[in-house]
Amino acid sequence: MYIKLLITSGFLFCPLWAMGNESAPLISQTSYSQFQKFDRQLNLGMGVTSGNLTNGNSGAVNNSQFINLEIERLFDIGIWLDINASLMTYYSQGADPAFNKSTTVSGSQPNFGGVNVKLGYAFPLNTNHLLLTPYAQFGRTTNLSSYTMYANNQVTNLTQDYFLSSGVGTRLEYRINQIIELYFDQNALYNASQAPTNATLAANDNYSYTSLLGAKFNLWHHFQLGLQGFYSDFYYTNPLNTINGIALVPQSTVGGLVSIGFIY
């Protein structure tokens, strides 16, 4: 009699238990489980940047706003994948000395829009708190630059003017508790310009180094708020001289991003 009651109760309880937990993401219990609660997410963000444009004795500042779509997944076997797509929505910059000084040129911003992919393998230094992920990065980013506009006889084509980027990076995640995670990301990229240039001008190929500090807040079962701050430096492989002087190009950029995400 007691055995029948236990079996009957079990059949009744299991569906109720499943219904009560169907809202939680289905994450298997592995050494990555605690971090998967933060790193299996899709988010939409809005960000701002401010950059220094310098070359020779001239200088200027540009400011921009952009939207960002990111999908991230940390798999059970430790593979980590992060895909970012961005698009600029606002830009301002002073005149470039390579052009007529009475003209305001919208250019010299290497991140007008594009898609970048990070692929790595995660090493749990502590299964509850620390995760280290070396990764490779590659992508395609529109090369909106007053230098390439000059090199194309002041005509730009955003389908042709772009960078192919490749490089490596490392990401360190610190999970404070079930709600808050901090992370630091450092990468180094080589950005090869595909923009056509005339015979006398070199391409504005460059190396970039980006440091990023971020935080994730799991505020509800499927809801995640994200914050980021980042800083980039650019180093060019060729002197970018023009007939009228020296074109302004990005030397450093600082920015931030706020995102709203969905944990899956």
Task: Give me the DSSP letters along 158-172.
Answer: TTT-EEEEEEEEEEE
d(CA 259, CA 249): 29
Asked whether the predicted pLDDT for residue 204 surpasses 50, the reply is: yes
What is the CATH number for 136? 2.40.128
Q: Give the residue-averaged pLDDT of 6-35.
A: 51
d(CA 264, CA 247): 46
What tens digit of pLDDT does each residue of 83-131 get?
999 999 988 876 666 665 544 444 566 567 899 999 999 999 998 999 9
pLDDT computed for residue 37 by the predictor: 94
Tabulate helix, strand, coil % of the chain (nearest 5): 10, 55, 30
d(CA 76, CA 28): 7
Q: Is residue 8 part of a domain?
A: no
pLDDT computed for residue 24 by the predictor: 43
Phi, then psi, of 79 in degrees rounded to 5: -70, 135
* Of residues 96, 206, 199, 89, the one with CA closest to residue 147: 96
Q: Is residue 255 part of a domain?
A: yes
What tens digit of pLDDT does each residue of 168-179 get?
999 999 999 999
Cβ within 8 Å of residue 51, ≥6 positions away: 61, 62, 63, 64, 109, 250, 251, 252, 253, 254
pLDDT computed for residue 114 by the predictor: 92
Residue written as tokens 């995660």? Answer: 122
What tens digit of pLDDT does each residue of 223-245 get?
999 999 999 999 999 888 766 66
The pLDDT-based confidence of 7 (bands split at 50, 70, 90) is very low
d(CA 77, CA 79): 6
Q: Is residue 10 part of a domain?
A: no
Q: Is residue 214 part of a domain?
A: yes
User: What is the number of domains present in the chain?
Assistant: 1
Q: Is residue 205 part of a domain?
A: yes
Q: Is residue 224 part of a domain?
A: yes
Q: What is the DSSP letter of 179?
A: S
Q: Which of 53-57, 167-171, 200-204 is predicted most confidently? A: 167-171
Q: CB burial class (10 A; 0-12, 13-18, 19+) of residue 9?
A: exposed
d(CA 56, CA 160): 28
Give me the half-sphere count of Cα atoms (radius 13 Å) on the Cβ side of residue 246: 14
Mean pLDDT of the chain: 82
Tell me which residue range forms the domain holding 243. 30-263
Bridge partners of 12, per DSSP, are none
